[in-house]
């Protein structure tokens, strides 16, 4: 075998190994990627039921229910659409109606079953995804707070 052919075989094997490694990395990342949706995005095109996603928005005023057993139900809104969320567990201390939240979980039986609830940590802070979703809905006010529909913003 000529040296030129050996180099071509070596480059071919290296390219095949690189392609296999890239495929394995992308496959592993696909399992861990969690996409962000606003309630309007979900209303327009619901995600697959087994797909793990994040939903962000404001906790709608008057929507928090605690039926017992550690279960909490509330609605997340971007002021244009709402998503009903059920969560079993302890809510963050900063969780309140009218405040920004990001919940992570899956859709099951027409409602969002969250396994993680993240609340904002500062009264001036709002997750970028939430503020972008509210801006996209056209409800964003220049002072950084969305317009309220009867509840406390």
Q: Give percent helix, percent strand, percent coil of the chain, each to the nearest 5.
A: 30, 30, 40
Write phi, then psi, for 105 (nearest 5 degrees). 170, -150
Mean residue pLDDT of the chain comes to 83
Per-residue pLDDT, 105: 92
Mean pLDDT computed over 101-129: 79
Query: Is 151 a residue whose pLDDT tops 50?
Result: no
Residue 37, CB-side half-sphere exposure with 13 Å CA sphere: 26
* Stretch 83-92: mean pLDDT: 91
- Give the Cα separation of 12 and 10 in Å (integer): 5
Q: Whole-structure pTM over 0.85, yes or no?
A: no
Has residue 114 got a pLDDT over 60?
yes
Q: For position 133, what pLDDT does the model report?
A: 73
């Amino acid at each position: 075998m000529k040296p030129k052919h050996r180099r071509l075989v070596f480059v071919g094997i290296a390219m095949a190994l690189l392609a296999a490694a890239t495929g394995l990395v992308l496959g592993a990342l696909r399992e861990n990627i969690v996409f962000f949706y606003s309630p309007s995005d979900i209303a327009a095109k619901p995600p697959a039921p087994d797909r793990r996603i994040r939903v962000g928005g404001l906790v709608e005023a008057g929507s928090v229910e605690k039926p017992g057993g550690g279960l909490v139900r509330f609605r997340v809104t971007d002021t244009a659409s709402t998503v009903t969320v059920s969560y079993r567990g302890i809510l963050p201390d900063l969780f309140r109606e009218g405040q920004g939240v990001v919940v992570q979980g899956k859709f099951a039986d027409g409602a969002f079953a969250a396994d993680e609830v993240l609340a904002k940590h500062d009264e001036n802070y709002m997750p970028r995804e939430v503020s972008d979703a509210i801006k996209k809905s056209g409800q964003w006010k220049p002072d950084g707070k969305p317009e309220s529909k009867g509840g406390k913003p």
